[in-house]
Structure formats: C-alpha cells, structure tokens
Amino acid sequence: MSEEIIPVETFCSYYHVERTFIESLESYGLISISYKENQRFILKEELTELEKFSRMYYELDINIPGIDALKHLLEKIKELQQETETLRARLRIYE
C-alpha cells in the first residue's frame, strides 16, 4: 500500500500558511516532510496534527516552542488518562 502524500505548497496555499512555518515545525521535529523528486510532501496521517499546529500558531498566536511544549503536555495528559482508566478497571475487580 502506498503512502498518501500532500505537496507542502498545496497545504500552504489551501490553509494560507507560510512555508517557513512548515519548515520550523519540521526543524522542531513536530512533523516530518518527505522528499520526492526535489519536492516536499506531507504524509496524510500527519495532516490532523498539522492543522492543529496551524490553528495554534495563527489563531492563538502560540510560537513554535510553545506548540512543542503543548504537544508534549497533551501527550502526557493522554497517557495519564489511559493509566487512570486502567487503574479503574483493575479496581472494579475488587468491587
């Protein structure tokens, strides 16, 4: 099965974002860009995250380091929620 990819330029024109924003996200390791025949592409599975980062940056005026910090905090919250659910399930055994 081939990966579905979107050209960076297409994403930028559709969402009205700057290419430098995409490059900054890549340099921070928040997204990965594929290169094919001297063109840059975004994997379709990263599109949701990239849309979220775009809203944070352009609508909420959060800089790239702030987006990186928020991403890590949201991942930690998700892990803690999963751990809480696991512990609740284990406690139900004793009820």
How confident is the model over 54-88, as pLDDT tens digits?
999 999 999 999 999 999 999 999 999 999 999 99
Is the separation of the CB atoms in 6 and 44 below 8 Å? yes
Q: Is 89 exposed, middle or buried (CB count within 10 Å of its CB: 0-12, 13-18, 19+)? A: exposed
Q: What rounded mean pLDDT belongs to the chain?
A: 93
Q: Determine the structural domain holding residue 10 and report its residue range.
A: 5-92
Give the CA distances from residue 23 to residues 60, 67, 69, 78, in Å, rounded to whole numbers and listed in that order.
Answer: 19, 14, 18, 27
> For position 72, which CATH number holds?
1.10.1660.10
At 94, the pLDDT band (50, 70, 90 cuts) reads: confident
Q: How many domains in the chain?
A: 1
